[in-house]
Amino acid sequence: MKTIYFTASSLDGYIADKNDSLLWLFKNGPTDISFIDEFVATIGSIAMGASTYQWLLDNLNDQPWPYKVPCFVFTHRQFKTIEGADVRFVQGDVVERHEELKKLAGDKNVWLMGGGDLVGQFHDHGLVDEMHIQTVAVFLNDGKKLFNRRTETAFKIKEIRQRGDTCVEVIYNVRG
């Protein structure tokens, strides 16, 4: 059971543009995204920040909530809930929440969906096991950061997978 940051990024390390748009990703990312479903099948719980949840709310377009597992949304805002979605609004220290996320996940993995500061909070406490970063070969020059921390020791590469002709996924061992 692992805690994994799984996300797509631009070459210059942004997961969304400054307006929280992902159009650059949908326009340029891999067309075969079955690897996402394969990853989601290994997941038992999810953590995301308020802006990521807002993006999902804005882009569901009458589709049902896509995840069957419990999802913690870290926020101080008042959000609407979605019918049929196990979404729990939480805040504050990530350590206690991580224990809950692990219990909920059982023998499956915890998905840290982002953004980069929330994942940084988990990393500050040594709680991130792996990062699976799909880097799409575009530069955004501005936007929401992939990882909002400075690190001094390089993460070790565990695996590299090509995703179409514009994207490479690198799996990093974060805990060493």
Ligand X SMILES: NC(=O)c1ccc[n+]([C@@H]2O[C@H](COP(=O)([O-])OP(=O)(O)OC[C@H]3O[C@@H](n4cnc5c(N)ncnc54)[C@H](OP(=O)(O)O)[C@@H]3O)[C@@H](O)[C@H]2O)c1
Contact with ligand X (CB under 6 A) among 20, 65, 82, 155 = 20
Encoded tokens for 31? 């067309």
Stretch that binds ligand X, among 61-69, 70-78, 100-108, 151-159 (CB under 6 A): 70-78
Contact with ligand X (CB under 6 A) among 44, 49, 70, 120 = 49
Given the complex with ligand X, which of 48 and 105 has the nearer CB atom? 48
Pattern 144-173, ligand X, x by CB under 6 A: x-----------------------------
Q: Strand 130-136's sheet: what is its strand order?
A: 87-90, 71-74, 43-49, 109-114, 3-10, 130-136, 167-173, 156-163
| Residue 120 binding ligand X, by CB under 6 A | no
Q: In what helix (H) or strand (E) does residue 175 lie, and over which residues does it extend?
A: none
Q: In what helix (H) or strand (E) does residue 45 lie, and over which residues does it extend?
A: strand 43-49
Stretch that binds ligand X, among 39-47, 49-57, 64-72, 157-165 (CB under 6 A): 49-57
Euclidean distance between CA atoms 21 and 154, whole angstroms: 29
Counting residues that bind ligand X (by CB under 6 A) gives: 28
| Residue 25 binding ligand X, by CB under 6 A | yes
Q: Which residues contact 141 (CB under 8 A, 6 or more apart)?
A: 12
82: which DSSP letter?
-
CB of 6 to ligand X, least distance (A): 8
Contact with ligand X (CB under 6 A) among 30, 44, 70, 116 = 116
Please report the sign of the dihedral spanned by the C-alpha atoms of residue 100, residue 38, residue 8, residue 55.
negative
Binding site for ligand X (CB under 6 A): 7-8, 15-16, 20, 22, 25, 48-52, 55, 74-77, 91-92, 94, 113-118, 121, 144
